[in-house]
Structure 1
Amino acid sequence: MDAKAGSSPQALLRAMNDNPKARPRDLAAQLGVTEADLVAARVGQGATRIDATPDALVPRLGALGPVMALTRNESAVSEKTGVYDNYKSGAHASMVLNGAIDLRIFPNAWVHGFAVEVETDNGVRRSFQVFDAAGDAVHKVILPLDADPTEWLAIRDALATGDASQSLTLQPREPVEAPKSEPEKRDILLKEWERMTDTHQFLRLTAKLRMNRLGAYRIAGAPWVRQLDPAALDTALETCSAQGVEVMVFVGNRGCIQIHTGPLNTMKKMGPWQNVLDPDFNLHLRSDHVAELWAVEKPTRRGPALSIEGFDKDGMLILQVFGSRSGETDHRPAFAEVVATLESVRAEAEKEAVA
């Protein structure tokens, strides 16, 4: 599927020049193309196609020093500042794991890569941007405006593919998987849930029972899950911020999950957006996109792992928030106390009675 009719590379370039302040994702939506189409249109004019393979790109990024790592989905954006140290390669999943940059990488989704240079009022913004087969952003690495570009240019040149085309052949976007439950298997689900010793066993369990994450939550019930009022997500984040409760915030897409561990110092609500605006971590969350919110407990060898998980109207996981883990335990009592105060979804009969 090429860029839609009427959206030739030349037309896309004009649109970008006419709307220099527009966010690329928003402009792409207005034009009926993908964000990757916009970047491809700039090949030869500030963009260079590069090898998007994580094993080729990510190990080189440490040479840049501190940069911004950006991972997003339709409803949440995570921005972390740090150095890309300690890359671990894997055929199906790779990772970067250090005190600042914490990523889970799924290489099959790292399809289209670009080195991008954009003129701004404050200088040239340089980044590496990776997109999936459908043209959706998977991960971006953004060099500070005042950084020496020497290493960035060296990586660009080392990974340049030589492909000068300004359009992409994209695949149709895979739809979000609807919630899948097997109510007749609830007893098996609960029995196996109780036997878990690691949170990573959960998705294998649901797959074995032909369910998925949200479908399992909908039928599990106490003591493992409690459905919360969607507005409780803002309450939880603001309470953790006010009380200094350190958390782990997971934001991801099909190709990358980015994790922040630490406090949420500066919260600022702006319209539908809930924001964390800290020096080394920014979170931008469309709270109004949260259609279902669940408090979930999973047993592990290191104690119970408690999370708050938000899903959109289609059943897509927007983000997960855990209490920050220590070396010995997955349980943080202060976070559990915050979760315990959050309002549950009221039964329909109770809602009608109040109305």
Structure 2
Amino acid sequence: MPLPSPEDIRSARAENPRLHARDLAERLGLAEAELCAALLGQGATRIAAHPDAVLPRLKAFGPLLALTRNEACVIEKTGVYDGYRPGPHAALVVNEAIDLRIFPSHWVHGFALEEETARGVKRSLQFFDAAGDAVHKIHLRLDSKAEHWEPLLGLLRLEDQAPDLALSPRRPPEPARIVPERRDALREGWNALEDTHQFLRLCAKLKMNRLGAYRLAGAPFVRPLAPGAVETLLNRAAGSDVPIMVFVGNMGCIEIHTGPIARVLETGPWINVLDPGFDLHLRRDQIAETFAVVKNTARGPAHSVECFDANGLLIAQIFGVLRAGAEAVAGWNALVADLPDAEQMEAAE
């Protein structure tokens, strides 16, 4: 079946104004970046994609909306892109509102979009990986300083504005990698952790991945949780003042929210956090496995709740905030401890 032409893509966008770009791309059998490419010269401009070229120039805009997603979860934070720290393998944006972990090698295609809507012109910067999947999007708000838009495009615009994209095949998800005979070594190494960032190095050393290690390790390090644990946790956290850290990401970017949450709403398969400056949209029907996990750190044990989809992809991680103090940590740990585990639910059935 031939791929739709740029004209067909533009028509489909016009006919489905409420459909999210990711969903429209899937319906058309395209990568999301190809939707942007179809608008080149008609509201879209191909721009430099490397974070070093873009992110240090965004502070002047004032408040912007930062959006990062994977197949099952979307996180949106509003704030200023201040505190950019470059790095060849990993870069950061770190401030109270915008907290990003960036992996520049996956920022391959960049577009600036100007789209006419009923509310006026909607402007955004959108970045995609080699397969054309979105890694990060930046949206101007009504209170953003839009006078910086045209000067920014003048700096970032590429000479090549052709609509053809050279896309690579999407990397297939990696299933759980488990090496049963190394369980004792995993547990010994886990017990010796001094920082959560050491965990993935331990997994690599033992030829496992995160999901495989979680399935293998057992108590007291990991507890499989019952279905619905994440929405239960979010609802209970919203009824408290306990601050949490929510990590949502993909291969190119991880976005983090830190603070308490207040408003949790369910809409169809989605569970949503809708707070000032922070939105989270999580497809609970795509959660296949959830774990309560504890790892040692210099500040004490870090307890997290982490969920995966049926392909083994990490959807989201939710931690307590160790630096918030003993009372906040105790409150978070109690929320996690009170979640039913998978075996309890199976026994009840």
TM-score bracket for this pair, using the shorter chain length: over 0.9
Q: Which amino acid aligns with 2:244?
A: V
Q: Is the 8 A contact 1:125 1:145 kept in 2?
A: no
Match of 1:244 among 233, 241, 244: 241
Report how far residue 154 of structure 1 moved. 1.3
Report how far residue 263 of structure 1 moved. 1.0
Q: Which amino acid aligns with 2:335?
A: V
Could you say what secondary structure the match of 2:323 adopts?
Answer: coil
Residue in structure 1 matched with residue 59 of structure 2 by the alignment: 62
Residue in structure 1 matched with residue 91 of structure 2 by the alignment: 94
TM-score of the two chains, using structure 1 as the length reference: 0.95
Could you say what secondary structure the match of 1:346 adopts?
Answer: helix
Residue in structure 1 matched with residue 26 of structure 2 by the alignment: 29
Match of 1:189 among 177, 186, 189: 186
Match of 1:346 among 330, 343, 348: 343
Q: Per the alignment, do residues 331 and 197 of structure 1 end up closer, same or farther by CA in structure 2, a change over 3 Å counting?
A: farther
Query: How many pairs are equivalent?
Result: 349
The farther-off stretch of 21-30 and 42-51 is 21-30
Q: 4+ runs of 1 displaced by more than 4 Å? A: 327-331
Q: Which runs of 5+ in 2 are unaligned?
A: none
Q: Is the 8 A contact 1:69 1:81 kept in 2?
A: yes
Match of 2:263 among 260, 263, 266: 266
Q: Which amino acid aligns with 1:173?
A: R
The farther-off stretch of 146-155 and 183-192 is 146-155
Q: Which amino acid aligns with 1:179?
A: A
Report how far residue 291 of structure 1 moved. 0.4
Could you say what secondary structure the match of 1:326 adopts?
Answer: helix
Q: Is the 8 A contact 1:303 1:329 kept in 2?
A: no
Q: Which amino acid aligns with 1:81?
A: T
Give me the whole-angstrom Cα distance separating, in 1, the residues matched to 2:75 and 2:226.
23
2:223 corresponds to 1:231: no
Q: Per the alignment, do residues 316 and 325 of structure 1 end up closer, same or farther by CA in structure 2, a change over 3 Å counting?
A: same
Residue in structure 1 matched with residue 318 of structure 2 by the alignment: 321
Give me the whole-angstrom Cα distance separating, in 2, the residues matched to 1:245 and 1:147.
31
Q: Is the 8 A contact 1:194 1:299 kept in 2?
A: yes
Give me the whole-angstrom Cα distance separating, in 2, the residues matched to 1:322 and 1:330.
15
Q: Is the 8 A contact 2:60 2:145 kept in 1?
A: no
Per-residue displacement from partner, 1:222-278 (whole Å, max 9, x unpaired)? 111100012111000110111121100000000000000011111111111000001
Could you say what secondary structure the match of 1:36 adopts?
Answer: helix
Match of 2:278 among 265, 278, 281: 281
2:164 corresponds to 1:164: no
Q: Is the 8 A contact 1:304 1:330 kept in 2?
A: no
2:131 corresponds to 1:126: no
Percent of aligned positions with the same letter in both sequences?
53
Residue in structure 1 matched with residue 70 of structure 2 by the alignment: 73
Residue in structure 2 matched with residue 298 of structure 1 by the alignment: 295
Report how far residue 128 of structure 1 moved. 0.4
RMSD: 1.6
Could you say what secondary structure the match of 2:122 adopts?
Answer: strand
2:117 corresponds to 1:116: no
Residue in structure 1 matched with residue 217 of structure 2 by the alignment: 220
2:155 corresponds to 1:179: no
Per-residue displacement from partner, 1:28-66 (whole Å, max 9, x unpaired)? 111110110001100100000000001001101111100
Give me the whole-angstrom Cα distance separating, in 2, the residues matched to 1:269 and 1:19.
24
Q: Per the alignment, do residues 211 and 329 of structure 1 end up closer, same or farther by CA in structure 2, a change over 3 Å counting?
A: farther
Give me the whole-angstrom Cα distance separating, in 2, the residues matched to 1:173 and 1:331.
41
Q: Which runs of 5+ in 1 are unaligned?
A: none
Report how far residue 6 of structure 1 moved. 3.3
Give me the whole-angstrom Cα distance separating, in 2, the residues matched to 1:145 and 1:17.
23
Match of 2:7 among 5, 10, 30: 10
Q: Per the alignment, do residues 330 and 210 of structure 1 end up closer, same or farther by CA in structure 2, a change over 3 Å counting?
A: farther
Q: Which amino acid aligns with 1:221?
A: G
Could you say what secondary structure the match of 1:332 adopts?
Answer: helix
TM-score of the two chains, using structure 2 as the length reference: 0.97
Report how far residue 167 of structure 1 moved. 2.5
